[in-house]
Amino acid sequence: MRVLVVEDEKKVAALVKGGLAEHGIAAEVCHHGDEGLKRASTEAFDGLVLDIMLPGRDGLSILRKLRADGHNVPVVLLTARGDVDERVEGLNLGADDYLAKPFAIAELVARLRAVWRRRAGVTSNVLTYADVVMNLGTREVRRAEKVLRLTPREFSVLECLLRAAEKVVTRTELSQQVWGYQFDPGTNVVDVAVQRLRGKLEDGFSSALIQTVRGVGYCLKAST
């Protein structure tokens, strides 16, 4: 999941970026409304965390322009506590949710995940394939009855593979969704993470689950 955070308070933006990363969400930050609109209009993000009070274009103006141009990226607004009129206007303009400052990172994560589930038509908080069960709420992963201890990166890689079960996920797609930057063919960071995940996922089991598609990427598929 790749999110753009548009927040002019640099300390708040840094805390949000770090907090989202701990939950396996790759966040990129900008501090000016005009830059936020440009990036949200021209780059592919899975969500937008948008402060209303910004230099340049304000958050509501950005939201209005995005929706008018047909951009359907999920948006969570950050508002000052007590600004009910701004919240109502934001929701009427097409915001998916809002949070009043100050807020807990855990609540922002929960609201982002709820927005993504609604957009995808998903009502369950659980992803499953074969004997693997991932609970997105508790962040617990099991294979059969074995609990797997995954790092945030490994959790995110597995989530990507589970959502596309039996379909090939390219290295570029994994890089963008988990690390939030364009894939550099000169690095093996994706392959290293997948190998570590594979070791934990398949340790003690006779059947493999993560298949390598040479030169392309990886596929979660039970061995036959």
Predicted local distance difference test score (pLDDT) of residue 223: 73
Segments in the chain below pLDDT 50: 183
First-to-last C-alpha distance (Å) of the chain: 31
d(CA 27, CA 47): 9
Instruction: Report how far Cα 71 is from the mean position of its chain's Cα atoms.
Output: 18
Predicted local distance difference test score (pLDDT) of residue 16: 92
Query: 126-220: which CATH topology?
Result: Arc Repressor Mutant, subunit A (1.10.10)
Predicted local distance difference test score (pLDDT) of residue 87: 80
d(CA 2, CA 146): 29
Q: What is the pTM of this model?
A: 0.60
Predicted local distance difference test score (pLDDT) of residue 172: 82
d(CA 116, CA 74): 7
Predicted local distance difference test score (pLDDT) of residue 120: 66
Predicted local distance difference test score (pLDDT) of residue 100: 86
Other CB atoms within 10 Å distance of the CB of residue 23:
20
Q: Which residues are registered as beta bridge partners of 49? A: 5, 76
d(CA 200, CA 158): 11
Query: What letter would DSSP give residue 197?
Result: H
Predicted local distance difference test score (pLDDT) of residue 206: 82
- 152-196, pLDDT tens digit by residue? 889 989 988 998 888 998 888 888 778 765 546 667 888 999 999
Superfamily of segment(s) 2-120: Response regulator (3.40.50.2300)
Name the strands in the sheet holding 168-170, side by side, starting at the edge strand that comes first in the sequence.
168-170, 217-220, 210-213
Domain chopping of the chain, boundaries: 2-120, 126-220
